[in-house]
Amino acid sequence: MPIGDVLPEISLTLGAVIIVLFAAFARQHQHVWAAVLALLTIGLCIGLTFTQWDGPPRLTFSGVWALDGMALSSKLVVLIAGALVIAMSPEWMQTDRRHAEYYALMLFALLGVIMMASASDTMELVVGVLLSSVASYPLAAYHRTWAPALEAGMKYFLMGALTNTLLTIGVVVLFGLTGNTGYPEIAQKLSVGHDSLALTIATASIILGLSFKLAAFPAHAWMPDVAQGSPAPVAAFLTVIPKIGAAVALARFVSLMPPDVAWRAIVALISVTTMTLGNVAALRQTDVRRLLGWSSVSQSGYALMAIVVMGTSDQALPALVFFLASYAIANLAAFAVVTYLRGRTALESYQGLARQAPIATTILIASLLSLVGIPPLIGFFGKLMLFSVTIEGGYAWLAFVAAANTVVSLFYYLRIVARMMFSDTRPTVHVLVGQWARTTMIVSGLLLIVGGLGAEMLMEFTDSIGFVR
């Protein structure tokens, strides 16, 4: 058990503990320093992760922890996204007496997501999902005196309780079939022989359990409520970061399944249903944060396309990571604008915004166009890779459904753009006082452009990543 293999995760844990101790003794006006500590912790974790990049792909800690391209690249995406969320939070949270504890919960939630992406053992996967969930529940309902926040937190908790139970049931059934929890041992045992009905039940239960963290059908219903009712930085976190870990965990798990298990059909069905439901529901939304929540649901459907063609296309895994990274940047940029505008939520409140807040309007438009997939923004290259590998993998019909859904999504994104650009109304714009949210908004907007311009280099960076066996 080489401790050096988990130094990034140890640094996150120690950083969260230090913040908890700091919060216990610091005065409220000093709690902003907890954000600095959290960012330093994430910076250290990123540095330690880069030191592992050149090492050979391997399983460590008795085979329960993966150090391969998928684990390391997804960890970097999660950490960078987490840093952006933390950086947009201080002005929003400064009046809360539990300001500092907020950052400790963020770090614990990040650790849970990283565990999900790196798990090569079903018990490790369960621990990661539970840690991510337990740290996220109080974040969703952090504004506990506001009814929508309580509703969002309760729906998130109840849906999580149900799906986490399903996940655990699937893990237990799989253990009963194979007598092992490690992925290599499970794959070896299943290749020899298995009970098809029991394996189908276990696989379906685990896929449904992970669909909660993905915000994919049928465990998606919490997402729009959380996007609308939780603090705006938390909404940014929960619409982006957990699904990165869940998507990688799902891809790693289904790669173990023998050919006679119809997991591709199950994932393809969930993909089509998720993207269609998310886009159709977003069409009728008059609340921007809720619209972004439904948009997040649809984006999960797109991500599942890469998992469907895993094993039939060599570039499926790189496409998955690249798409998740491009989506993370675009969605975080959109929520950075919402945060900067004090959580402005009603669609009517965005009328004429271009005249009063041109920078925020420009960044929001860029983020929405990136979510659609308009060049030269980074979202275009993410979707291009997805569509290419889906067609290459023999699922042209799935790519066609995704293209049709992309056209549908253009309508509701352009509704926001039209309100901001072409309305004669001059709204009263209230913004968060301070530089944290404004700086994060600008950095996120620049990443949309820079990521698009440097897409070829990023594609080469992710070109050879894969799973270790």
State the residue for tokens 């929540």.
Answer: 293
Closest CA to 308 of 216, 209, 186: 216
For 408-424, the pLDDT digits (tens) are: 999 999 999 988 888 77
Q: Residue 287 in 3-state DSSP?
A: strand
Let me know: does 12 contact 111? Beta carbons within 8 Å: yes
For the record, the structure tokens of 289 come out as 């944060």
Let me know: does 242 contact 271? Beta carbons within 8 Å: no
Q: What's the chain's average pLDDT?
A: 89
Q: Is the dihedral of CA 222, 224, 228, 233 positive or negative?
A: positive
pTM: 0.93
Q: Residue 434: left if φ>0, alpha if ψ -120 to 50, beta else—which one?
A: left
Residues contacting 65, CB < 8 A, separation 6+: 5, 6, 59, 118, 119, 120, 121, 124
For 268-301, the pLDDT digits (tens) are: 999 999 999 999 999 988 889 999 999 999 999 9
Let me know: does 326 contact 452? Beta carbons within 8 Å: no
Q: Is the dihedral of CA 212, 88, 142, 428 positive or negative?
A: negative
For 186-211, the pLDDT digits (tens) are: 888 888 777 788 888 898 899 999 99
For the record, the structure tokens of 378 come out as 């980074």
Per-residue pLDDT of the chain (469 residues; tens, 9 = 90+): 788 889 999 999 999 999 999 988 888 888 889 999 999 999 999 999 999 888 788 888 888 898 888 899 999 999 999 999 999 999 888 887 888 899 999 999 999 999 999 999 999 999 999 999 999 999 998 888 888 888 888 999 999 999 999 999 999 999 998 888 888 898 888 887 777 888 888 988 999 999 999 999 888 889 999 999 899 999 999 999 999 999 999 999 988 888 777 888 889 999 999 999 999 999 988 889 999 999 999 999 999 999 999 888 888 899 999 999 999 999 999 999 999 888 778 888 888 888 888 899 999 999 999 999 888 888 899 899 999 999 998 899 999 999 999 999 999 999 999 888 887 777 667 777 678 889 999 999 999 888 888 877 787 777 778 777 6
Long-range contacts of 80-84 (CB under 8 A, 24+ apart): 80/46, 80/328, 81/240, 81/241, 81/244, 81/328, 81/329, 81/332, 82/42, 82/106, 82/107, 82/110, 82/237, 82/241, 83/39, 83/42, 83/43, 84/236, 84/332, 84/336, 84/440, 84/443, 84/444
Closest CA to 391 of 401, 377, 376: 401
Q: Which residues lie across from 119 on neighbouring strands?
A: 65
Closest CA to 301 of 321, 326, 276, 322: 276
Let me know: does 373 contact 382? Beta carbons within 8 Å: yes
Query: Could you count the other beta carbons within 10 Å of the beta carbon of residue 53?
Result: 12
End-to-end alpha-carbon separation of the chain, Å? Answer: 18
